[in-house]
Structures are given as C-alpha cells and as structure tokens.
Amino acid sequence: MRDLAASCGALSVSRRRALDSTVLYDAVATQDTYTMIAAAVRRCRRLIAAAAALELMHDYDGRAGPWCDWSDPAERAWLVDELVADACAVLAAVEGLDLTGEQADAVGLLGVVAGQDVEADPEVPGRWRIARRTAAGRVISPEARHARKTSHSAETATRPTSSQSPTPASSPPQNSPQPTRRTPKSAPGSLTPTPPATPTPPRHRRQLERRPAHRLVLADSAYASGEALEAFTDAGWDTAIKPIERRPPIAGGFTRDDFDIDTDAQTVTCPAGHTRPVTSGAARFGKLCAACPLRARCTTSERGRSVTVDAFEARRQANKARWRRPGTQAAYRRHRPMAERSIAWLTRGKARRVPYRGVAANHLWLTTRAAAVNLVRLANLGAGFAPPAAA
C-alpha cells in the first residue's frame, strides 16, 4: 500500500501529517445497574465452584433477573443494596483462590460493575443506593465504556487515510482537555473500537519510524499530552500541536500558565512572586497563600494553591513555545481540513456505528474499511490496475 501510494505521489511530496480523532458508537446493548450486577454475579457462579456454592439473597441460576416490584421506589432501593451485598459475598468467597484467566476476568468485572454505580445512602446508614452521577469510563460491557470525544477516539492519519488501531475505551487521562461535546443519548457513549485520543508512545514510534521523510505532525490538543509529545520527538518529528487549555480554578483567575515553572531548578514561582520547590511531583504554596493579596484570583482552598509538575513538563512547555511561533497556527488551520476529510471518508454512510461486538471483530472491520478508503483515495489520485499478462 505504501509503495502504491508513493507511485501516485500521495506520500512523496508532503512532509506533513495531520492527526484527528472521532468517536465510533458501539454495538453493545446498554444495561441498567441491576441487570449488570446480576449478570456479573451469574457469570462468576457459572465459572467458579466456590461462588456457586454460596447461598445468596437472590436466585442467579436461571435466566430471569431478580424479582422486584419496579413500581415501588422503596423496593428498587433495597434491591440494589441486596445485589451489591451478594456481589460482595462472591468477591469475599473467591479471594485468595487460584483462578484461571477467564475466572479472574469475571471476578474483576464483578468488582467494577458492583461499585461503579452505587454510593452510600445518606438516608439509610449501611445501605447502598444508585449513585447520583455517572462514573468516568463507566463499564457497560467487558469491552465497552461510556466515553467523550476528547478522551476516547478513533485516530486517523491523512493523505491518504493510513492509520487505525481500535482498542477498548478507557478512563480519560488526567491531562486530557475539557470535553467539547458529549455523545448523543441515542448512541450511549459506549465505545468498542476506539483508541485513546492520547496516543501510546510505542505504537506511535513504530508508526512514525516507517515514514522518516515526513517531518511535521499537526494535531489538536487531544495529542498534546507529555507521553505523545515525547513519542513524536523521539521519532524525529517536529510538531504543530495545539496545547491543552486548562480552566482556572476561579473564573477569571490565574491559570497554570501564569506560574513560572523552572524544570531545571525544579521550582515554581506564582504570580505574586513566591517561589516553592517541587517535591513529590508538586509545588505547594500552603501558608504563603493566606496573606497573599492575589489569593482571590488564585485559589479558594484552605491549604493554598498547588501546581503539579511531572517528568513531561519540559515537553509541554516546548510545545507551547512552538505553538506561539509565527506561522504555526496558520499551518495548523491550513492542514487540519485534511484530517477532517479523512474522518468523513472513514465514517460516512453507516460506518459511524460499528457492526460487531468485541474489539477483535471490529478491528478486522475497521482495518478492512480503512484499506478500502485508501484504495478509493489512491484511485482518485491516478492509481491504475494492470491485469496480469497472459501466459
């Protein structure tokens, strides 16, 4: 495919690559908390003899779900508490056992689904209730999660579409940008074939080293994590990546960029001129904030303002400096439509929603579709087909 693209001139001229991301909606039926916990308990009892021997509050041997008068809010409240109690009993019974891989996966899934949607009931001490929030990266099947566009996405490199590698969605990285839009309710945010928007360094190193002639990567802030910037730099690529924009803790107040972070001296200086050393990954200003005249614009915490500094701080500062150079943002705006067109080609028709359950099946589907999009693109660029010569 690379040889054919080079023969058409698709890769021989450009020294730029634009990256973008999108959400693909899964093919998994969304289940409520009651159904998920009951199904996870049932699976553990089917696979593990110690769990099957337990006497629980509800019958999990049949296909029917736990009985409840669903019109009675009080019964629904007690049902979720009983299901969590049964789940805890199963987890306690299998603790310390030598489990196979399938059994360990079932136990791990039970632990996740039994705890992600519940919280302590403040009205009834000792009782669990449905949590009044949605957990980040909420599991709705072993390989599907609730997700947001900026934290779970399908990656595509352009000219032509050439990169796709589906993985399960996971929790958003701590340094991911603020979400720009949420997944529509009609397609419940759960992803099956999508990698994180923050690319993992090993895969990018392999991908980029295969194209040593192309020197510039253009991408949005979903690719501005320290790990991704290190991967691009180590592979010998220049970057024009939009920096992550962090909201200030106080509206109209100081952001993290207003602090002078010296990565060599491992110190941080605040807007008021106070300097603190970085210890255990953060600079803590503590009592200095108490009498600071700028406190109202900086923090409301009783312990004062703190600024985290990790091993990738220098990478992010260098990326911000490159972003401020004349022409960088103009190049980003000029070449970003390439990525948007590739995403549109890849997801047009019914391809926005994946057709199968499970990452492996959708990996094959997405790889085949990307290859077809590549062939159409190359045909439009002039690639031809020469039939084999007659014997």
Task: List pLDDT tens digits, range 215-230.
Answer: 788 888 888 888 989 9
DSSP 3-state of 353: strand
pLDDT given for residue 36 in this prediction = 81
Lowest average pLDDT, out of 43-57, 94-108, 172-186, 289-303, goes to 172-186
Is residue 214 scored above 60 in pLDDT?
A: no
Residues 6 or more apart whose Cβ sits within 8 Å of residue 213: 15
DSSP 3-state of 80: helix
Which uninterrupted H or E stretch holds 157? Answer: strand 154-157
- Identify which has the larger pLDDT, 110 or 152: 110
- Residues 172-180 have a mean pLDDT of 31
pLDDT given for residue 284 in this prediction = 94
How far, in Å, are 27, 134, 138, 186, 187 from residue 30 at the CA level?
9, 14, 11, 11, 9
Which uninterrupted H or E stretch holds 38? Answer: helix 33-47
Alpha helix (H) ranges present in 53-162?
Answer: 73-94, 101-116
Looking at every residue in the chain, the average pLDDT score rounds to 75
Question: At 312, which amino acid appears?
Answer: F
| Whole-number Å distance between alpha carbons of 340 and 318 | 26
Please give the distance of CA 328 from its chain centroid, rounded to a whole number.
27
Portion of the chain with pLDDT greater than 70, in percent: 73
Q: Which two tokens stand for residue 56?
A: 């629980």
Residue 197 and residue 155 in contact, taking contact as beta carbons nearer than 8 Å: yes
DSSP label of 238: E
Cα distance between the two ends of the chain: 26
Nearest to 17 by CA among 331, 322, 245, 371: 331
pLDDT given for residue 30 in this prediction = 63
Q: What are phi and psi of 123, to 5 degrees?
A: -85, -30
pLDDT given for residue 283 in this prediction = 93
Nearest to 66 by CA among 34, 43, 90: 34
